[in-house]
Structure 1
Amino acid sequence: MADVFRVDVKGIKELQAKFRQIDFEMQQILSQATSAGAAVVVREAKINVGRGHPDYPERITGATMRNIREVRKEKSATKCVSQVGGTLEHMMRLEKGFMDTDRMGRRFHQPPRPFLRPALDENEEEIKKAFEEKVKQVLRKYG
């Protein structure tokens, strides 16, 4: 016959309460962590616009630079989605290029001069670090 043993665990209710608190705080910090990552992209996109060399758009009026910002697309308890961009029509033309006729009948052959995508692609590690740092702030309290 097999031996039977018993284990008493003390503090399980306190541990469960801590996990609930961590879960609550993680939900609260999720949007801040997402915004921290997006801020890196915003900063770098503005730098790219300001460079003005052939790979990037020239800064003439500064309207593009002023219009680059984070736009919150979705937020729930478990998911937060942000995009970085702007509302100026010419921003997408700069990013993707424009080879067509505009609504005023002018014909354009404008090659792409992306400034947003490189800001994301070239800074993935820094974006991850900014996000992780916000999450670690919560975890340090319980570590």
Structure 2
Amino acid sequence: MKKIPFLFTAFFVPLVACAQGNPGPYIDKDIFNICAAIVVMALLLGFLLTFSRLFLDYRIKTRLSDSGLPTEVISTLLPEDKNSSKTAALKWAVILAGIGLACTLIYFTLPLGIHSLAILACCLSASFAVYYIILLKMKK
């Protein structure tokens, strides 16, 4: 009879005990804002570079076609890679999935430390390996 209240106490007391207090946020707000600004700028610049490349390719093709060159010559000078957009989307999907897996694993192994960087590096290398294997299977 005395064992049940003791087990109850032994089970529930650690759930309400907070010896360390409230640790607060793990990442400083200023550091998070700087990292978010860098990521947004990288995405914006990547979009602008891709858009300008596509626009300039279109201008080159129209000028070559307006100059009277046959379409066979234009297609040999500027080959279109139809799979490039598909492989780019696949690459980003696999890399972002690896980063998501890394962030999930880092969350479950808090506090942040050197092991967090190791987890991130391993997940990113695994995602690049998966992308490489997928590319090899697509070529066959």
Structure holding more strand per residue: 1
TM-score, with structure 2 as normaliser: 0.31
Larger radius of gyration, structure 1 or 2?
Answer: 2
Structure holding more helix per residue: 2
TM-score, with structure 1 as normaliser: 0.31
Q: Which one scores higher on RCO, CA 8 angstroms, separation ≥ 6?
A: 1
